[in-house]
Structure 1
């Protein structure tokens, strides 16, 4: 899969929310990024085989738990084009304040 907007992850790690556990968060995000970059998902079911605990919001939005359940990563996926767009990352607490179906990175 082609992952778009990796910079969003880097910016979050460097932000005050990301710095609370910076090394562990960076390692978890790097692992997620490399796994997804190597993946060849054709459908949600392909993704769920690897990430069973990911939450499917709608036909194209997925929420991943990062570093246990400390952080949430919201992406949009186009399976036909093999593209994953990073839309939002934040703490579990901040996730309650956004709409996963519509949130966009600022």
Structure 2
């Protein structure tokens, strides 16, 4: 999978150093993956789930959420948001026009 944009991960990690190793581990796994559907994703990340048009990953023991748009046909992952659990619960990310 081609992950776009790593910059979002990098910026989030600068502000939340405690999650940087976990997010970079996710990035390494995702870039080597050849997921065809959500079931494939869930073989590696069982708690990943589809929410609207996005896929949501629980990161670092459910303290953070990684929200992405996966286009399986082109093998691309668009990173939309990385949020703390409390930011995620506010649901502002659901205002995204692609949601």
Query: Would you call these one fold, judging by a TM-score over 0.5?
Result: yes
Q: The residue matched to 1:42 in structure 2 has which SS?
A: coil
Query: Deviation at 1:14?
Result: 1.5
Q: Which residue of 2 aligns with 1:35?
A: 29
- The size of the alignment, in residue pairs, is 97
* Higher share in helix: 2
Match of 1:74 among 52, 67, 84: 67
Distance 1:55 1:100, change over 3 A: farther
Q: Which residue of 1 aligns with 2:13?
A: 13
Q: Structure 1 unaligned segments of length 5 or more: list them.
A: none
RMSD: 1.6
Q: Structure 2 unaligned segments of length 5 or more: list them.
A: none
TM-score between the two structures when normalised by the length of structure 1: 0.83
Q: Which runs of 4+ in 1 moved over 3 A?
A: 99-104
Query: Deviation at 1:98?
Result: 2.4
